[in-house]
Structure 1
């Protein structure tokens, strides 16, 4: 039997799960309720169970994270931006780290493509594309591609490292949120097949 304290906890959890579809909200609340009832049936005080579950807001984030991870393939730009949006709201560090890494990854990636294209186009004699090593030191037209390849590779390398860092950070956050979930069956049920 759930006490008023447990009922209040479940009500808060339900409220914080507002962004999930109704059936998933109810499933999550029922699962936590059964976890509380099972613990109480084993002689554990409800207050201890609730303390172990932690803040209902954080638990709701864990459930939302599981849903996002289960529905996002991390292969498309839209999928990554969905996760970026979720994790930017997940904590102060994420608000700083995720946007910086995303801007570096996509910005430098786009720039590396432009550098290669500029090198190819300039090699064929397009004079409106400027390539300078230093003030007053213009790269000869015939050397445009030879300069564009290593510069584009360096910029592309920064993009790749930033992309890998972003994926690693998002995966780390997901793992931490998964650890908050109290029931292992919930974790396996929500993981993508």
Structure 2
């Protein structure tokens, strides 16, 4: 039988999971309730079980992380902002790393498109587009496309690497949270 202290823990967890869809929130609370009940039935003190589960806020973040990483792909810019917003709340390092990588990934990606577009437009006679590599060193218009491809590849490479490492960092954070969920080997120690 779960004590009032255990029930208070479950209520806190339920409140912290408010951003999950209702069905997932209910399943998560039931899973933790079952985990506590099984531990008590096996003779473990409830205080020890709750101690192993840790802070209900951290446990709720683990469930939210599972939900977010389980989404079937990022379908919109809002989904991207949701991912970034959630993972920015995971710690001080994340507040720095995630926005920097996100700005590099999306900003440099946008600049890649603009660079390639400028090369095409300048090649076909848009004289108002300047391509200088230094004071008094302008790229001739017939080399505009080659120049924009080289510069675009460099900028696009930075965007790609930033996006790749942003995803890796978020997967790493998700794995860290996953370790705190019941049923994982770190919880059974």
TM-score by length of 1: 0.89
Distance 1:26 1:19 in 2: 12
Other-structure match for 2:48? 48
Other-structure match for 2:123? 123
Distance 2:47 2:55 in 1: 13
Query: Does 2:64 correspond to 1:64?
Result: yes
Other-structure match for 1:187? none
Other-structure match for 2:164? 164
Q: 1:122 to 1:14 in 2, by over 3 A?
A: same
Distance 1:27 1:35 in 2: 12
* Contact map agreement 1:53 1:180 (CA 8 A) in 2: yes
Give 3-state SS (helix, strand or coil) of 2:87's partner.
helix
Displacement of 1:119 in angstroms is 1.0
Alignment deviations for residues 47-66 of structure 1 (CA, whole Å, 9 cap, x no partner):
11111100000001111111
**Residues 143-162 of structure 1: pairs in structure 2 closer than 5 A:** 143-162=143-162
Alignment deviations for residues 48-90 of structure 1 (CA, whole Å, 9 cap, x no partner):
1111100000001111111222224146544333211211222
Other-structure match for 2:84? 84
Displacement of 1:183 in angstroms is 2.7
Distance 1:156 1:24 in 2: 38
Query: Does 2:55 correspond to 1:17?
Result: no
Instruction: State how many pairs are aligned.
Output: 184
* Contact map agreement 1:72 1:79 (CA 8 A) in 2: no
What are structure 2's unaligned runs of at least 5 residues? 185-189
What are structure 1's unaligned runs of at least 5 residues? 185-193
Other-structure match for 1:189? none
Distance 2:25 2:38 in 1: 20
Distance 2:152 2:88 in 1: 30
